[in-house]
Amino acid sequence: MSGSHPSLTTSPTAVPLPRRPLDLAAFGDDPVRRWYENELGWPTVPASTAESPLRLRLGLRFDVLDVPAEAGRAALRHLAGTSPVAMRGDRMEILVAAGSREELPGLLDWLEWGTLALDLRAIGTGGVTQAPRPPVPAVSGLGEVPSGRPTGPGEDEPLALPAHPEPGALQGAAVWLRPPEPGCEVEASLPTLSALGGGGGAPDLVRVVNTVATHCHRLRLRRTRT
């Protein structure tokens, strides 16, 4: 990494959206949507059919960095213990600060990864992602998330895919590796460019992206050799 930090502008952390009052009629008998909308204050897109999953709206509270699970595992050490991380199949979805999608191309260029085809992308404003099922107590009765929440493996630990909380769930459905905590505003725990050189507690998006890009490149070289 060379040169000075690019003139990337990062908007201040958005003011969290107000929580909706509990409206059972609005959510019908969908406790999962109710958990996301009321316990977390995260906007959702309801499932269009019984078979389709609930989705989360991106770009309002957070964006998502979508990377291979192996590359994402290496970046977990740069995340706060409360930074939510999801798994979907062999992909890891790291929640990052809203606006990160727009910053990613310039950041990759500054880190000198911009000329390479890397298997990573950020999804933000206008996008959606599959909503992982909440922890079991939250699904069944919208109770509290267990305090013994997983923090995820470190870089040198094996990555074990979490078991889906509901029997008979479709293979490849999104699950939480590090679930969000109701009552905690998620923005303070997300990687952001504004953390670069700052004294705040937010993780540094530059370190997360550089680590993920490095391991994506290693995966690419490994596949090329084989």
| Residue pLDDT tens, the chain, 226 long | 555 555 554 444 455 455 444 444 455 578 899 999 999 999 999 887 777 889 999 999 999 999 999 999 999 999 999 999 999 999 999 999 999 999 999 999 999 999 999 999 999 999 999 999 887 665 555 444 433 344 444 444 444 545 444 443 455 789 999 999 988 899 999 999 986 655 567 899 999 999 999 999 999 999 888 7
Which residues are within 8 A (CB) of 156 and not within 5 positions of it... i.e. 6 or more apart? none
Which residues, 6 or more positions from 147, have their beta carbon under 8 angstroms from its beta carbon? none
What integer pLDDT is reported at residue 184 of this predicted model?
A: 87
196's tokens: 């670069």
pLDDT value at residue 138: 52
pTM, 2 dp: 0.77
* Amino acid making up residue 59: G
Query: Which residues are CB-neighbours of 93 under 8 A, at least 6 positions away?
Result: 64, 65, 66, 85, 86, 87, 129, 174
Pair 192, 13: CB distance under 8 Å:
yes
